[in-house]
């Protein structure tokens, strides 16, 4: 999106110039945001409005602004962003601008350019020759790179609330507490997942070990089998528990019948060893060593598995990215085209993913801990739903809803 700020002055209310300009912006397929408006108090007093106009392309914006000038719109002459050179590899200049995950523009040579990709907690590097700007992490900056410093010439455009009120996420946009009913929302979510699949959206599931431990794995498998999951983000532990469950019927030594099974933690260690011996999850599945569980379903249905490590990991299972910086890069890359994210029962991993999501990604966070839900959804203020609940009933109901809808639509055919 490209944008420009215009100002209108004069008897813009009595002359209906303000509504005319706003209507023209919309009829040209552009958008506006009124930044400031001062209405004259007395009859002869003039009014003032500052309006941010945004359009899909720079050409469309220029053409629209030219039209609006006829009606008295004046383009706000704003200052360019300030730039300083990175003093060393991996070091930003002091006062570097710290990004949010919102759509961001920087202005230089009098024109605004969009920062792509937008990325939270980064700095902005500008390439003047190419007229481009991108958000970078510490490891991505080289000595001499031109970095935006201060706030001048930087503009952040938060995601706008939809006016149609048809979008579930913007309509509900809340956290559903433990003691509140959830069935209606879960049904709506099932509908949203179906729409996402039909529209070739990309659904990411961020899965915590509790899914396996509570016995909710089978429901996640149903979602995977129905092709509602495109990417699975998890830690080493999640994969290890799932494999243990598949191979020995326990997770961390506990069976789904809530009885401590023979073997205890031993099962986990043996499971990890089996996968290491097989050369990884996919190899274990191909060799029919691994014949069930979530990981197996992912391999069978071509779900991208993104596994990252942590200090307490056993193994790791082959394919787990253990270098933290490398893991960030891989996750960011795999999240770039995601349209929907289900953050399920894993606070640390959910928070890591949430900070990497574009603000437009529709996000559902499910956790039994209310504060975890709150923290995970705060980055997507208009695009998120949080549910405070045990993940097992959530996944069971969601899987029931989608499979029910599948079979009824199948019956119609």
- Backbone φ/ψ region at 93: left (φ over 0), alpha (ψ -120 to 50), beta: beta
Helix (H) or strand (E) holding 402: helix 391-412
Question: For other proteins, which residue of 17, 216, 285, 351 counts as binding (CB under 8 A)?
Answer: 17
Residue 319 engages other proteins in binding (rule: CB under 8 A): no
Beta bridge partners of residue 288, listed in sequence order: none
Q: Which is nearer to other proteins, 43 or 288 (CB)?
A: 43
Asked if 19 touches other proteins (CB under 8 A), the answer is yes
Regarding 66 and contact with other proteins (CB under 8 A), the answer is: no
* Secondary structure letter of residue 185 according to DSSP: H
Taking CB under 8 A as the criterion, the residue among 1, 72, 100, 159 binding other proteins is 72
Residue with tokens 């197996």: 296
Q: Give the nearest distance from C-beta 7 to other proteins in angstroms.
A: 11
User: Could you say which of 11, 33, 134, 137 contacts other proteins (CB under 8 A)?
Assistant: 11
Which residue of 3, 4, 5, 20 would you call a contact of other proteins, by CB under 8 A?
20
CB 205 within 8 A of CB 231: yes
CA distance 409 to 269: 44
Contact status, residue 141 vs residue 92, Cβ threshold 8 Å = yes
Q: Measured between alpha carbons, how far is 342 from 291 in angstroms, rounded to an integer?
A: 25
CB-nearer residue toward other proteins: 13 or 91: 13
Structure-block tokens of residue 263: 């073997």
Question: Would you say 7 or 52 has its CB closer to other proteins?
Answer: 7
**Residue from 1, 7, 10, 37 that binds other proteins (CB under 8 A)?**
10
Q: Cα(first)–Cα(last) distance of the chain, in Å?
A: 41
| Cis, bond preceding 117 (omega within 30 deg of 0) | yes
Q: In 3-state terms, what secondary structure has residue 302?
A: coil
What does the per-residue mask of binding to other proteins show for 29-48, with x meaning CB under 8 A?
--------------xx-x--
Looking at the Cβ atoms of 43 and 413, the one nearer to other proteins is: 43
User: To the nearest whole angstrom, how small is the minimum distance from the Cβ of residue 72 to other proteins?
Assistant: 4
Which positions lie near other proteins, rule CB under 8 A? Answer: 9-11, 14-17, 19-20, 43-44, 46, 70-72, 74
């Amino acid at each position: 999106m490209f944008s420009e700020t215009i100002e209108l002055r004069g008897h813009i209310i009595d002359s209906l110039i303000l509504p005319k300009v706003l209507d023209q912006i919309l009829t040209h397929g552009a958008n506006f945001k009124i930044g400031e408006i001062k209405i004259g108090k007395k009859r002869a007093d003039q009014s003032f409005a500052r309006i941010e106009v945004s359009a899909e392309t720079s050409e469309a914006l220029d053409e629209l602004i030219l039209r609006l000038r006829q009606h008295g719109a004046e383009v706000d002459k704003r200052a360019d962003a300030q730039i300083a050179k990175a003093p060393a590899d991996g070091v930003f200049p002091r006062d570097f601008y710290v990004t949010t995950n919102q759509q961001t523009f920087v202005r230089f040579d009098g024109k605004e350019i969009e920062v792509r990709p937008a990325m939270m907690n980064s700095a902005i590097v500008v390439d003047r020759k190419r007229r481009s700007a991108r958000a970078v992490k510490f490891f991505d900056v080289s000595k001499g790179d031109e970095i935006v410093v201060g706030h001048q010439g930087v503009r952040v455009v938060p995601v706008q609330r939809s006016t149609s009120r048809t979008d579930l996420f913007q309509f509900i946009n809340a956290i559903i507490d433990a003691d509140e009913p959830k069935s209606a929302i879960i049904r709506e979510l099932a509908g949203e997942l179906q729409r996402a699949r039909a529209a070739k959206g990309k659904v990411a599931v961020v899965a915590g070990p509790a899914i396996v431990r509570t016995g909710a794995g089978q429901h996640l498998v149903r979602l995977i089998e129905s092709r509602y999951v495109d990417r699975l983000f998890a830690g080493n532990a999640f994969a290890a528990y799932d494999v243990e469950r598949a191979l020995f019927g326990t997770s961390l030594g506990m069976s789904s019948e809530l009885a401590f099974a023979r073997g205890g933690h031993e099962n986990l260690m043996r499971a990890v060893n089996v996968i290491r011996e097989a050369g990884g999850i996919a190899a274990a599945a191909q060799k029919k060593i691994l014949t069930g569980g979530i990981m197996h379903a992912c391999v069978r249905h071509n779900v991208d598995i993104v596994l990252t490590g942590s200090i307490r990991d056993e193994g790791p299972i082959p394919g787990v990215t253990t270098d933290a910086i490398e893991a960030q890069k891989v996750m960011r890359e795999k999240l770039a085209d995601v349209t929907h994210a289900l953050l399920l029962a894993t606070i640390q991993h959910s928070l890591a993913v949430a900070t990497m999501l574009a603000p437009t990604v529709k996000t559902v966070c499910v956790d039994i801990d209310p504060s975890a839900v709150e923290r995970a959804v705060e980055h997507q203020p208009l695009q998120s739903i949080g549910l405070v609940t045990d993940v097992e009933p959530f996944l069971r109901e969601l899987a029931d809803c989608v499979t029910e809808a599948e079979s009824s639509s199948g019956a119609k055919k």
